[in-house]
Amino acid sequence: MRFADTTVSLASDDGITGGVTRFRYWFERAIHVFLFACAGISVLTTVSIVFVLLVESVRFFFDVSVFDFLTDTKWTPLLKPQHFGILPLMCGTLLVAFGSSLIAIPIGLGTAIFLSEYAPPRLRDVIKPLVEVLAGIPSVVYGYFAVVSISPLVRSTFPSAGPFNAASACVVVGIMTLPMIISLSEDALRAVPRSLREGAYALGATKFDTTAHVVVPAAMSGIVASFLLAISRAIGETMAVTLAAGATPKATLNPLESVQTMTAYIVQISQGDTPAGTVEYRTIFAVGLALFLSTMVINLVAQGILSRMREKYE
Amino acid sequence: MVMDRRSLLPNSSKKQTVTTYTMTTTEPIAMDDPTTADDAISRVPTVPVNPPIAQSENSASAEGLPSANVKLVTRNLRFFYGSVQALSDISMSIPVNRVTALIGPSGCGKSTFLRCLNRMNDMIEKTRVEGDVLLDGNDVYKPGTDVVELRKRVGMVFQKSNPFPKSIFENVAYGPRLTGINGRAELQEIVEKSLKRAALLDEVKDRLNDSALRLSGGQQQRLCIARALATSPEVLLMDEPASALDPASTTRIEDLIFELRERYTIVIVTHNMQQAARVSDQTGFFYEGQLIEVGPTRQLFTTPTEKQTEDYITGRFG
Ligand SMILES: Nc1ncnc2c1ncn2[C@@H]1O[C@H](COP(=O)(O)OP(=O)(O)OP(=O)(O)O)[C@@H](O)[C@H]1O
Ligand SMILES: [Mg+2]
């Protein structure tokens, strides 16, 4: 009987609940549509950028053969005789990406480990904001810093270095990517549960044992992700690199020479007086495509590594 | 055992019993034993050597645990999480080659007490310990104590299983590796022996190189037991080691505890009263950060001295 009563009382409320339900339904729909539109905008933007890149690149490759583009060792689109070999720009980009990682990865990981495992809380509270300030400095300031302080330092150490050289670009980009590595790696390290550390300590592990064998491996996917983001950032960095490394496309791996990266070249042409629609102008789309593809390959490789790692231990 | 004397003191309030108990234990241990009293833990031979005091205590314990020597003693142990006191004046003797069970309602401080014994609480910020914990007569909180060495001697299985994100093999081999054992064959032997004792080997022997995180909850718990066994500690602290296990595995773990008792000193926290009764020689009942009563298991479960103990073991606790 009591059941019946309940049913009846529910039924009598139907008018009100029905109204609420209808309102909720439309509200949920509206939210749904709005979020879908947001997602749609970003997808659309990406697709159209890639589309423009592809179309312009295809037109570029009507004039310049893909083979020349990939194998020629000179990049002189604005000078006679014209050469359209991507290799020098690729070299410059890789040199800066590799060199800056060489600086940023060990220092960044070391700092992250120090902050998360060793530093007393007070010291951490001082260092962390400083690192964040480092992240907020505009890149043109870094470039200027490279020209006025790092480059002279490099030149006094290695007299053969030119006023613009890849080494100072590596140092400055390394410093720029440090905060990213530090804060992301530190987050990953701190996310390792205390219980894991305790498990190691309980077996008679020292702090170093615990950090090296348990905490860092457990945080590895986050740490590697921070490295990759830093490398992507180094590849994409333009302003500081242009100021520090100069604008001399050269197929060299010598960090003391002046080089030009892909991004620096794109800026040079976009800002110059090269008329749009010419093959010289379209080089920037081909270079952009190459840049896009190389970043994509890095991301894919990274995701492969990470998912293999996760598959195994998460 | 000394704690049994508490039952000989009728109508004594809790405060008094603790005091009485403390005095009887502390005095002989205090500094009577010149060989161990000032030695750093690391210099004590790894073979369990019991301080002479234990013998004198033996004669005193007519009932209960006849040949028990004392491995661990706590004296007026207090513990604070910030300003919150989690343990108040715990004085307790843990006999060697015996199983000591700790029971009590959730949140009463059993884990906290256990973690004080191997200084696991050191790692938690803003905590404070007062009082003494003596391992073979040496204060483990004495400045200059080698905590790493202490933890090699006093192993621990945690309440929440915490396998490393490594392979099953590497999980168990980690402790031995820390002590410098690196030979593959030797490690293999230790790993298999430990897994077998923890009743896990049959289930995992074909996939020792798989991630430990793919094991089920109960398997992970047994893996953690195996990991603790692999380092052959003198004392094994087990915080609810069977909480996620099915009856068959639980029985095997209990058998293991019984077997380990011959060589190790075991302290086990359990919420399962039957388990405490089955595996332990001595049981301590904790309530709200206090050790209400401790005594031979049989006696504690049949004729508890304190009303609170009786209420708890008969399930009448609020
Ligand atoms: N890390 C911590 N920080 C602050 N308080 C804590 C911490 N760990 C435990 N406590 C508190 O100390 C008291 C004792 O906790 P403890 O973990 O020792 O209980 P327990 O007897 O093991 O309980 P359970 O049977 O549920 O495991 C509880 O009130 C708990 O809230
Ligand atoms: Mg507990």
Question: Which segments of B24-121 are extended strands (E)?
Answer: 70-81, 84-95, 99-103
CB A85 within 8 A of CB A73: yes
**Per-residue pLDDT averaged across A223-235, rounded?**
90
Ligand 1 pocket member B107 (CB < 6 A): yes
Residues A23 and A156 in one domain: no
pLDDT tens for chain B, 318 residues long, are: 334 433 333 333 333 333 333 333 333 333 333 333 333 333 333 333 333 333 333 333 333 444 458 899 999 999 999 999 999 999 999 999 999 999 999 999 999 999 999 999 988 988 999 999 999 989 999 998 999 999 999 999 999 999 999 999 999 999 999 999 999 999 999 999 999 999 899 999 999 999 999 998 889 999 999 999 999 999 999 999 988 888 888 998 898 898 888 888 999 999 999 999 999 999 999 999 999 999 999 999 999 999 889 989 888 764
* Of the residues A13, A33, A63, the one at which a domain ends: A63
**Which chain B positions have a beta carbon within 8 Å of A203's beta carbon?**
151-152, 155, 174-175, 178, 227-228, 231
Residues A126 and A32 in one domain: no
Q: Between chain A and chain B, how many beta carbons pairs sit less than 8 Å apart?
A: 70
Query: Among all ligands shown, which has an atom nearest to the Cα of B109?
Result: 1
A206, closest residue in chain B (CA to CA): B148
In whole angstroms, what is the distance from residue B294 CA to residue B92 CA? 8
Q: What is the pLDDT of residue B242?
A: 87
Neighbours of A293 (CB within 10 A): 11
Of A198, A209, A313, the CB nearest to B158: A198
Ligand 1 contacts CB of residue B13 (under 6 A):
no
A299 confidence band (pLDDT: 50, 70, 90): confident
A12 and A41 housed in the same domain: yes
- Tell me B267's DSSP state: E
Q: Do A196 and B164 touch (CB under 8 A)?
A: yes
Q: Average pLDDT over chain A, rounded to whole?
A: 88
Closest to B228 (Cα-Cα) out of B158, B276, B140: B158
Nearest alpha-carbon partner for B103 in B240, B286, B267, B275 = B286
Which of A18, A33, A63 represents a domain boundary (last residue)?
A63
Q: A257-296: per-residue pLDDT in tens?
A: 899 999 999 988 888 888 888 888 899 999 999 999 988 8
* Strand arrangement of the beta sheet that strand B154-157 belongs to: B154-157, B235-239, B265-269, B99-103, B282-287, B290-296
The confidence score (pLDDT) of residue B314 equals 85
- Domain end (from A63, A93, A113): A63
Residue-level pLDDT at A314: 56
Asked if B151 and A201 come within 8 Å (Cβ–Cβ), the reply is: yes
pLDDT of residue B35: 39
Distance of CA B134 to the CA centre of its chain: 13
A56 and A79 part of one domain: no
Which amino acid appears at position A274 of this protein? Answer: T
Element (H, E) at A31: helix A14-63
Q: List the single residue in A199, A204, A217 with the smallest CB-CB distance to B162.
A: A199
**Contact (CB<8Å) B120/A201:** yes
Across the interface, of A196, A203, A217, the residue whose CB is closest to B231 is A203
| pLDDT level of residue A16 (50, 70, 90 thresholds) | low
Task: ipTM value, please give it.
Answer: 0.77
Tokens of A232: 């992507």
- The answer to whether B158 contacts A214, with C-beta atoms less than 8 Å apart, is no
Residues in Cβ contact with B58 at an 8 Å cutoff, skipping those fewer than 6 apart:
B66, B67, B68, B69
Q: Do A16 and A86 fall within a single domain?
A: no
Cα A231 from Cα A253, distance rounded (Å): 17
Range of the domain at A277: 71-313
Same domain flag for A6 and A122: no
Q: Which amino acid is at A227?
A: F
Tokens found for residue B290:
């206090």
With CB atoms and an 8 Å threshold, state whether A203 touches B151.
Answer: yes
CA distance B32 to B38: 11
State the CATH number of the domain containing residue A169: 1.10.3720.10
Query: Domains of chain B by range and CATH?
Result: 2-162+233-313 (3.40.50.300)
**pLDDT number for residue B162:** 93
Contact B51, B137 (CB under 8 A): yes
**Res A15: pLDDT:** 54
Spell out where B96-180 has E strands. Answer: 99-103, 127-135, 138-139, 154-157
Ligand nearest to the CA of B290: 1
Looking at per-residue pLDDT, the higher value among A60 and A1 belongs to: A60
Domain count for chain A, please give it.
2
Distance of CA A285 to the CA centre of its chain: 20
CA distance B252 to B239: 17
With a 6 Å cutoff on the Cβ, whether B86 touches ligand 1 is: yes
Interatomic CA distance for residues A123 and A108, integer angstroms: 17
CA of B145 to the centre of ligand 2 (A): 26
Q: Are residues A134 and A186 in the same domain?
A: yes
